[in-house]
Amino acid sequence: MAWAALLAGCSGPLAPGGEPGAPPAPEDVIRVTPADGGRAVRPGRPLRIRVPGGRLEKVTVVKSQDAQDSAVPGRISADGLTWRPDEDRLALAARYTVDVVAVDPDGRRSARHTTFTTLVPDQRFIGYVTPENRAVVGTGMIVSLAFNRHITDRAAVARAVRVSARPPVEIRPHWFGNDRLDFRPEQYWKPGTEVTVDLNLRDVQGAPGVYGLQDKTFAFTVGRSQVSLVDAARHTMEVRRDGRLLATVPVTAGAPRNPTYNGRMVVMDMLDVTRMNSRTVGFGGEYDIPDVPHAMKLTDSGTFLHGNYWSPTAPGHVNVSHGCVGLRDVKGGGSDTPAGWFFDRSLIGDVIEVVNSAERTVAPDNGLGGWNMPWPQWTADPSAK
């Protein structure tokens, strides 16, 4: 589970009394090379993390390659200013995720989250796979492959990827554009299902002169069923485990100017703490909260379900957020708060469904939103057959 990220989703307006103290920009406190969002980084480029002052507190680097994640070992220098990996050479055809927490010379804590991908040899393509190998996930998980190159022979690539389940269930693919291929059954997975993904992509031609690199199998297990229903009009969330009501939790959803999406969303990531900056999701400088607790990512566009400590009276009474779903929490995150209680009982792959909001239904390709597409439409994709 990731433990920190930056530039995430949205949040409600601050409680009366003004904004929290604005920290320095994370990129000014924490320097990471290669640069965030870098592509085709060559293996000779060094991976370096440093701070000009203060000290590094925690560094986590994860390498994703051939559908498997592995930690990159390294160490912080004795003076706390730099981090270097034990192995200097970057892997080919890999995605690196860097999470750093540091304290500046004034004692202010900052967090930074960056990613970059390394060079894939000429005329090759790979698919980055969700979920992780050997993961235990909720019943709403969708298998999603994001390709590093545009695929023009989508049918050939779809035929080369096999997703199977035990006990058996029909699983069908659907393309979103030319670089994303998702798989799901008609209904949510049954708890206890074991799912296997076979990537038989090596030497498959995905585009003229571009051939697949991977020949890999990975698997994950479906855990218990947990589906939570957010009623934006009633300001409540019903949490059901295996069909049984566990609790009804007060929430605050999107305010009238920025309502929350309706529809079924799947938990994509879980972050103990994250920074939420309105400028990264298309708003102005309306908020910049450096320590949002218990954050669960629901869409690529920035919808989160998260703890809210700055508007303590809003959950259960009024919708005040910029599109997220907020649960009552305390600064730093409390285990005995509604947000902490829910976070501790959730899995990546759990379903959050929103009803009675003024917003449209979330798009099927926004996050793992494919459950919002009717099955006949999902299976009608001719390039997935």
* Structure-token match 């640069």, residue found: 35
DSSP run (H or E) holding 377: helix 375-379
Where does a domain end: 93, 118, 143? 118
Burial class (CB in 10 A: 0-12, 13-18, 19+), 155: middle
In sequence order, what DSSP letters do the residues of 246-309 get, joined into one string? EEEEEEE-B-TTSPPPBEEEE--EEEEEEEEEGGGGT--SS-EEEEEEEEEE--TTS-EEEEES
Distance CA 130, CA 135 (A): 10
Q: How many residues in the chain?
A: 385
Number of Cβ atoms within 10 Å of the Cβ of 360: 10
Please check whether residue 47 lies inside any domain of the structure.
yes
User: Is residue 378 included in any domain, yes or no?
Assistant: no
Residue 383 lies in a domain: no
Let me know whether 270 and 333 are in one domain: yes
**Predicted local distance difference test score (pLDDT) of residue 144:** 98
Does residue 306 have a pLDDT over 80?
yes
Residue 69 and residue 192 share a domain? no
User: Considering the entire predicted model, what is its pTM?
Assistant: 0.75
Check residue 288 and give left, alpha or beta (phi > 0: left; psi -120 to 50: alpha): beta
The Cα–Cα gap between 377 and 298 comes to 23
Give pLDDT, residue 283. 66
Dump pLDDT digits (tens) for 359-370. Answer: 999 999 999 999
What total number of domains does the chain contain? Answer: 3
- Is there a domain that residue 381 lies in? no
287 and 217, same domain (yes or no): no
In a domain, 371, yes or no: no
**Quick one: which H or E segment has residue 379?**
helix 375-379
Residues 210 and 253 reside in one and the same domain: no
Asked if residues 322 and 12 have their Cβ atoms less than 8 Å apart, the reply is yes
pLDDT band per the 50, 70, 90 thresholds, residue 285 = low
325: CATH: 2.40.440.10
- What CATH number is associated with residue 102? 2.60.40.3780
Q: Which residues are known to be catalytic?
A: 306, 324
Same domain? 257 vs 340: yes
What are the tokens at 42?
Answer: 């060559």
Same-domain status, 230 and 218: no
Q: Is residue 384 part of a domain?
A: no
Task: Identify whether residues 100 and 200 lie together within a single domain.
Answer: no
Tokens found for residue 90: 């970057």
Boundary of a domain, candidates 82, 97, 118:
118
Same domain, 35 and 90: yes
For the record, the structure tokens of 217 come out as 């199998």
Same domain membership, residue 342 and residue 270: yes
- What tokens does 294 get? 């218990």
Task: Give the domain extent around 290.
Answer: 226-362
**Which strands make up the sheet holding 74-76, listed edge to edge?**
31-33, 48-50, 82-85, 74-76
User: Do 214 and 266 belong to one domain?
Assistant: no
40 and 108 belong to one structural domain: yes
- Is 86 part of any domain? yes
160-192 pLDDT per residue, tens: 999 999 999 999 999 999 999 999 999 999 999
Domain CATH number, residue 134: 2.60.40.3710
Structural contact between residues 307 and 327, judged by C-beta atoms closer than 8 angstroms: yes
- Give 65-124 pLDDT, tens digit per residue: 877 899 999 999 999 999 999 988 898 889 999 999 999 999 998 999 999 999 887 789
Q: Are residues 233 and 288 in the same domain?
A: yes
In a domain, 319, yes or no: yes
Per-residue model confidence as pLDDT tens digits over 53-71:
999 999 999 999 877 899 9
Residue where a domain terminates, one of 194, 224, 254: 224
